[in-house]
Structures are given as C-alpha cells and as structure tokens.
Amino acid sequence: MELAKPFPPGDYDVVVIGSGPGGLQTSYFLHRLKVDHAVLSADDGPGGMFRRFPLFERLISWTHSSADVSRQSREYESHDQNSLVADEPELRALVPQEISEGHRRPAREEMEAGLRAFTERAEVAVRYGCRWESTTQQDDRLVLVTEDGEYRCRAAVFAIGMTDPWVPPIPGLELSHHYVHVENAPDRYRDRRVVIVGKRNSAFEVGEGIVRQGVRELTLVSPRPPDLGRLARSPLRPWYLTPYDEHVRGAPGRYVLNASVERVERGASGYLVHANDPTRPEPLVLEADDVIAATGFEARLQDLPALGLATVLDGRLPALSPFFESLTLPGVFFAGNVTQAAQGLRKHGVASVSSMVCGFRYNARILARHLAETVFGTPIERPLVEPDRVVAYLLSELDRAPELAMQKGYLARVLTVDSAGIRDEGILPLEAFVDGEGDGVAVTLEFDVDEEIRPVLYVRRRAVLRETVLPPHPLRKYDALAYREALDELLRPLS
C-alpha cells in the first residue's frame, strides 16, 4: 500500500521548496528547532542537482577518507566538504560511506546516495512530485500555488538551486546545446570539432569529459581569462583543467581563447563561431561540428520578480540580506546554492563558498535559527562563556571550527557582552556582526591579499569597531602563545 503523501495543502508556518541538499539541510535544522514546516519538491526523490549534475566528472569538492579525527566529530566536517551536517553523530559523514575505494571526490551517483541516506536516517519528510507553480500574497501570508493545491505560510524558503540554463543574447547561440542538454554518450563527440562557449567550471568539466572521449578539436572561448593565477580564490579547480594544460603547452587542436563570441551560424558542414579578441586586428572564425553553451545557470525564480523580488546578474539570482532574505520581499528566504547571492564583505575580492554544500550547509543552520527567532519568537540558546575561558575558546574555534575553515571571511564565531556576562551567539555571517550593534567580538579565518590564511578579530566596544588581522601560521595552528597573547590584549577592553 502506498503511504499517504506528507504535507497536504493548507497552512504552515514555513514552506520549504526543494529536496536538494539546501532544502534537506534547512528542513533538518528547522525540525531541530521545532519550527512547523512543509517541504515540497517537484522531483520524485531527494538529491536536487546531484540527480543530474555534474554530467561527466566527479565533484570538485573533497572528502578525505583518512583523517586524524573521528568521522562522527565536528572537526571531520573540514575533511568532508560533501556531507550534510547534523547534531547527532550517526547522521554525520554519510557521503564518505558511499565513495568507492581510492577516490577522494564523490561521483554524482555517490553524492546522490549520500543525500538519500541522510534523508532516510534523519527522517526528512518531503512531499515529492509537488511542483511550485505560482505565488501570491494574502494579508501577511505568502500563498504558494502547487499542482496539488495552495500552501499558505508566514515564511517561504526557496531551495531551488541554480540549474536552469542561462544563455546570453548572442545571435545564433540558440543553435548550440546548453550544458544541461549535453549527452554523456561514449562516442557522441569522438573525432569531432567542438567549440565550448564559456570558461567556468561547467565548460572545463565538459571539456575534460570529451577530451577523454577522443574529441578531435576542442576550443573554449569567452571574454574573461580563466582565473588561475589566484587559485585559492578562483572557483576553478585543477581536476578539470586538462584542456587548459594542453592548450598552454601547445597540444594540437586544444585552444582556450579570450574573445567575445559575436554570432554563431550554420556553415557548409556544421557551424561557424565568430569571435572577437579586442587585442587582435581581425576577427576569429571557428569551425565546429558541435557548439556547447557552458554560459552559466540561473535560479528558476518563477513569478517572484513580478511580485517585487529584486535580482542580480541579469535576473539570475535574488538580491539577498545577510540572513538570506529577499531585500525587497519580506518573508521570502533562500537556501542552498542560491545563498551565494548574499555576498558578505568579499574582502580582497574573496567570495564565499555558499555555492557549494560545504558552504551552504552552515548557512542553513543560520537561516533556521534566524527564522525560529525573528519570525516565530523561539528562544535560541546563547550559553554564557566564563571570562577566563574566552581566549581559549576563540583559539580552539580558529583551530577547529569547520564553519570558519570553509566559509573564510564570511562566517564568524561571535560572542557578545551584556550585563549578565559574555554570551556565545554561535556562528553568524560576519557582515551581520560588523554592521550590528553592542559590545562583542567576532573571529574569522580570512584570505589576505596574497592568499595567506590569517585569523582576524573584530572587537566592538562602545560603538567603535576595530579590526585586527593576525599573522598567518604555517601549519594553521592558532592555539599558540603569540595568538594567546594577542587575543588577551585585544579582548581586555571587553572584560
């Protein structure tokens, strides 16, 4: 007998849309905080984008099978960028259990299996096969219209991923296949000439995959040079860069070009791609049997922009507050990959890793606490920290906190000071502390301008905020005398 679907249409405090890692992680934390919510998904099972992508290659994020800490510990999260996180040890580190021997990055199927295992063991309930179709506002409620009926809620969390194809308005580019429609069949690109428009991860991933399939000629073309000089802050990862390596070494038929594509047209056999490199006198004409548009993705925001949702990047992402709420539509929140739109301070141009599981799994905990407290008035635990334990606690967080290690310059451990003493506010967006009020301290790990990783302290006393960038440590061990002395000195005004 088929079980009844959970979450029938009706009234809920929160509705979460999506059953990818962002939706699952958000539902898990909302459940921990006892926030009544429904989870709806158009898919027929958990996994989100990992049900389809990446197309050819393993993921770019690491999971180390061997580590000096227990897999069930919080510290192990820094060794495993792919699992969802949980308070219960038995729900942690589920992706490494799926990875086949000898690999340090999961295949798509292994990632999907890890997410399925989390859904089952954490008992995350989802109403599958229930597509969100449109949205209205009624009094202080949002109404999400689905194929099963209407869901009314005080806050909605859209964990919708960023997997819809986005194609720039280049004449003829509609003749190409977008990344999402590329077939991974063994001989599809054998002995063919392929032009890929784009030079980000998806472009290199397809390039890497079809080089293995025996492509004859491969050209990647887009205006912006690949960002390889600053590897720590570049989204590109070396595992996909065979086409680039072969290009710079002059392998026949491997080209990575910095030029803007002006138009694509059908030629005598296949296609002609017309490109313009502003540093060269004449235009380039590339002949191709196949053209692939790896030009990026957008979130499927449906009718939210028509309701007043402000967007960035040509409408591809919503404009978000530091707590992942729309800047213009109150009660509309986002989780998962789309939280990359909440950019934080971006010091020295360093972006968050909120586009990856290892970043947004922590954003989900922050979002759930924020929703519980601000929308529903649920008290959040803020334990007192003994004054003589503060320095040791902050140093141990710099040493071990996976949130600080993953989300550098974006998430911070925050303590505040009030009449009762020093309180642990938890992990918060650094921007929220820096732009907040009241006495307190935040610690982060950050890349400096030369990509060195440094601990940074932000101390606010009597409305004056002071930033102190501490020296790097070659083994990234901050529980050392020099740091203890520095923190003692910097925190003295707060005690």
- The site for another protein (CB under 8 A) is made up of 166, 168-169, 198, 222-224, 260, 276, 278, 295-296, 310-314, 319, 321, 327-328, 343, 345-350, 409, 434-435, 446, 448-449, 465-467, 469
Closest to another protein by CB, 96 vs 429, is 429
E strands of 159-277, at which residues? 164-165, 177-178, 193-197, 217-222, 254-258, 260-266, 271-276
Closest to another protein by CB, 12 vs 433, is 433
Dihedral sign for Cα 298, 302, 304, 306, please.
positive
Residues in the chain: 495
Task: Please give the Cα distance from 378 to 34 (Å, whole number).
Answer: 9
- Residue 434 CB, nearest approach to another protein (Å): 6
Residues 6+ apart with CB under 8 A from 379: 373
Closest to another protein by CB, 270 vs 330, is 330
- Residue 401 CB, nearest approach to another protein (Å): 21
Closest to another protein by CB, 113 vs 350, is 350
Distance of CA 138 to the CA centre of its chain: 32
Task: Please give the Cα distance from 241 to 218 (Å, whole number).
Answer: 13
- Residue 455 CB, nearest approach to another protein (Å): 14
Cβ atoms within 10 Å of 268's Cβ, excluding its own: 6
Residue type, 371: L
- Residue 18 CB, nearest approach to another protein (Å): 23
Residue with tokens 């732009």: 435
- Residue 473 CB, nearest approach to another protein (Å): 19
Closest to another protein by CB, 143 vs 434, is 434
Residue 334: name the closest of 289, 371, 280 by CA.
371
Closest to another protein by CB, 154 vs 233, is 233
- Residue 480 CB, nearest approach to another protein (Å): 23
Closest to another protein by CB, 403 vs 446, is 446
Dihedral sign for Cα 204, 205, 208, 213, please.
negative
- Residue 445 CB, nearest approach to another protein (Å): 14
- Residue 276 CB, nearest approach to another protein (Å): 6
Q: How far apart are the first and last CA of the chain?
A: 63
Residue 410 falls in which region: left (phi positive, over 0), alpha (psi -120 to 50) or beta? alpha
Closest to another protein by CB, 25 vs 222, is 222
Helices (DSSP H) in 371-442: which residue ranges?
A: 390-400, 402-406, 430-434
- Residue 407 CB, nearest approach to another protein (Å): 16
Instruction: Kindly report whether the peptide bond that precedes residue 54 is cis, defined as omega within 30 degrees of 0.
Output: yes
Task: Please give the Cα distance from 231 to 239 (Å, whole number).
Answer: 12
Closest to another protein by CB, 89 vs 283, is 283
CA distances from 67 to 59, 96, 99, 104 (A): 20, 12, 15, 12
- Residue 54 CB, nearest approach to another protein (Å): 20
Closest to another protein by CB, 303 vs 435, is 435
The answer to whether 15 and 9 have CB atoms below 8 angstroms apart is no
E strands of 147-259, at which residues? 149-158, 164-165, 177-178, 193-197, 217-222, 254-258
Closest to another protein by CB, 115 vs 456, is 456
- Residue 75 CB, nearest approach to another protein (Å): 28
